[in-house]
Structure 1
């Protein structure tokens, strides 16, 4: 059974733990139809387009 030869210092312990808690920035892409920022692989919230076609109804289109 493996046993540590020396006590791990708080600095080494914290550096090891820090890699798991990193927050990655949100990646945004622009909508091909209206140019609004949106999440990748999601329909645009402003116009409802995804992958070059209308994917969902928006409030603006539902009212008219």
Structure 2
């Protein structure tokens, strides 16, 4: 059974235990500040404006893959009856 000590100690040599040395692991020089870690996490919180396209029938702005709220057309056919 390997212990925690065995995981960090490197043993070299082909004829048994010749030399033991510590394996140096990478560690950060400074701890990450609260502001840095919070700003990294907050980058996924930002809100995006919904995409807009022009209706081919009436040229008013509408959301893609939605029925046009102005004329009621979707994919070249009348989907809703809009009162003027």
Same fold (TM over 0.5): yes
Structure with greater proportional helix content: 1
* Aligned mate of 1:15, from 25, 39, 56: 39
More off after superposition, 11-20 vs 51-60: 11-20
- The CA distance in 2 between the partners of 1:42 and 1:21, in whole Å, is 25
* CA-based RMSD: 1.9
Q: Which has the higher contact order (CA 8 A, sep 6+)?
A: 1
Runs of 4+ in 1 over 6 A off after TM superposition: none
Larger radius of gyration: 2
Q: Which of 9, 32, 57 is equivalent to 2:56?
A: 32
Structure 1 alignment gaps of length 5 or more? none
Aligned-pair CA distance for 1:7: 4.8
Q: Give TM-score, length-normalised by structure 1.
A: 0.74
More strand by share: 2
Compute the TM-score of the two structures, normalised by the length of structure 2: 0.58
Match of residue 57 from structure 1: 81
